[in-house]
Amino acid sequence: MSSTARTIGSVFHKASISSTLFSFISLPKPYDLNSTHLFLFIASAYLIPSFFFPYRNDMFLPPGFLRRSSPSRLSPMVGRAQSPRRIWTTTPVLMGRRSCKIAGRKDAQNLKKMKRNSRIGKEIVSAIKKGGPNPSSNTVLAAVLEKARELEVPKEIVERNIKKASDKGQEAFIEKFYEVYGFGGVGMVVQVLTDKITRSVAAVRGVVKDSEAKLADPGSILFKFRRARVVNVKANSCEKDQVLVIALDAGAEDIIEPNIDEDVDSEDQSESFYKIVISTENYSDILSKLRDAGIAFEPDIGFELLPLSPIEVDDEAVDLNKELMSKLLELDDVDAVYTDQK
């Protein structure tokens, strides 16, 4: 009983305090006693149920009451219940067209470098399997190690493959070429260095079939290419005349200029190269001259296949051939893909 009395007493005490507070609120004049009583009655009708039901104190109010009254003037609980939630959002970071192109070029460069290093590693294994691990007596291994230095292959990759060649279960790698009919009459040659021919041919055939291209019979496309030593010089890293002077001074056999589209901006032409065709005897000499001149270049992996008569195709065929070549290069056994597309 005492607790009930205390509860009821606190309710009326709260109501009396509210009446005192509301008496100081300035109401618009003129007003009479009846309007004041009505206002206090409504306030008391709100305060009493809010004492017993603090989390549902809006259920006793007439519709629209809270919309016409400030929640903070009624009760802290009402203010918290009715105040709108603030949801902070941020605009997602999107890569622009230029950033996407830069990322795409970087990925292509990394893939080319990875394929080149993988190729050198396979050649080291094959050379050791055939002639032993001593470069002094194994001229093939000595040539591969020299090529690794020219290509700036990391030392750990060389050492790892030398160790790999001593494994009993490791077989020698065999070079194979698969020929593919591309789109728009374009021919492709897929260069493979593999220790499992059945695996590599199945992988290449699967990609070609999924891309709706067609494998060609051996010799159907390869005759359209010539094998040569090539130094690739970035077109945007130097002037044309400078490349010509260095190439002729080093005894180059031919210089193939890049097919530069004037409608394409200079950033998209960053992967355009002058191809300096040179003999094996003069190859190291031209690399030294390019380094001394501070010109960026990319050496080959021992040779490149150059098309004898490049052909021009429409934009749709260009995109389809690019996609096919990209999928082929993703295969572990594939080291390079050559095409006669201009």
SS (HEC) of the chain:
CHHHHHHHHHHHHHHHHHHHHHHCCCCCCCCCHHHHHHHHHHHHHHHHHHHHCCCCCCCCCCCCHHHHCCHHHHCHHHHHHHCCCCCCCCCCCCCCHHHHHHHHHHHHHHHHHHHHHHHHHHHHHHHHHHHCCCCCCCHHHHHHHHHHHHCCCCHHHHHHHHHHHCCCCCCCCEEEEEEEECCCCCEEEEEEEECCHHHHHHHHHHHHHHCCCEECCCCCCHHHEEEEEEEEEEHHHCCHHHHHHHHHHCCCCEEECCCCCCCCCHHHHCCCEEEEEECCCCHHHHHHHHHHHCCCEEECCCCEEEECCCECCCHHHHHHHHHHHHHHHCCCCEEEEEECEC
Indicate whether 256 and 305 sit together in one domain. Answer: yes
Same domain, 289 and 188: yes
pLDDT value of position 186:
96
pLDDT of res. 183: 96
Residue 210 sits in the same domain as residue 340: yes
**pLDDT, tens digit (0-9, with 9 covering 90-100), for 31-68:** 444 555 555 555 555 555 554 444 444 444 444 444 44
> pLDDT at position 152, please?
85
Report the percent of the chain where pLDDT is more than 70.
65
Please state, rounded to an integer, the average pLDDT across all residues of the chain.
76
In a domain, 160, yes or no: yes
Confidence check: pLDDT of 91 > 90: no
Q: How high is the pLDDT of residue 194?
A: 92
Q: What pLDDT score was predicted for residue 146?
A: 87
Considering the domain architecture, whether residues 247 and 149 belong to the same structural domain is answered as no
Mean pLDDT in residue range 171-189:
94
> In terms of domains, do 247 and 134 share one?
no
Do 141 and 240 reside in the same domain of the chain? no
Do 187 and 130 lie in a common domain?
Answer: no
Residue 88 lies in a domain: no
The answer to pTM > 0.85 is no
Mean pLDDT computed over 228-252: 89
* pLDDT at position 96: 52
Report the CATH number that the domain containing residue 149 is assigned in CATH: 1.10.10.200
Above 80 in pLDDT, residue 95? Answer: no
Q: Does residue 87 form part of some domain?
A: no
Q: Are residues 180 and 168 in the same domain?
A: no
* Per-residue confidence (pLDDT) for residue 316, from 0 to 100: 94
Domain span including residue 229: 174-342
- Considering 120-124, 220-224, 270-274, the range whose residues carry the highest mean pLDDT is 220-224
